[in-house]
Amino acid sequence: MQAAPVRATAIPSFTTALRAVESLLMSGGQRTARRNAWTSVLEDRRRAKDRIEAQRVLDQAPGAPSPSTLPLSTPSLTTRP
């Protein structure tokens, strides 16, 4: 009995297959716009994570005001007498 032949090429990953389908269905400009949009989403998520971490550090700092002592709204720059 012979052993099964070894496959010389790797099976493409799911991501690779999706990109291949994407390249067939979309023109280059649409593909670029979609990737730029996704990059933007990832950057927004990173900034939000950084903002949350910075707020956590500020809240734990000594002498930081507790959330209950902070004003609910900012005062208006124009006040009436």
| String of DSSP letters for 38-57 | HHHHHHHHHHHHHHHHHHHH
From first CA to last CA, the distance across the chain in angstroms is: 100
- Would you say the pTM of this structure is higher than 0.75? no
Using N-to-C axis directions, what is the helix angle for 14-25 and 28-60, rounded to 10°? 130
The DSSP symbol for 70 reads: S
Which pLDDT score, from 0 to 100, does residue 27 have?
75
- Regions of the chain where pLDDT drops below 70: 1-8, 64-81
> Tens digit of pLDDT for each residue in 39-60?
999 999 999 999 999 999 999 9
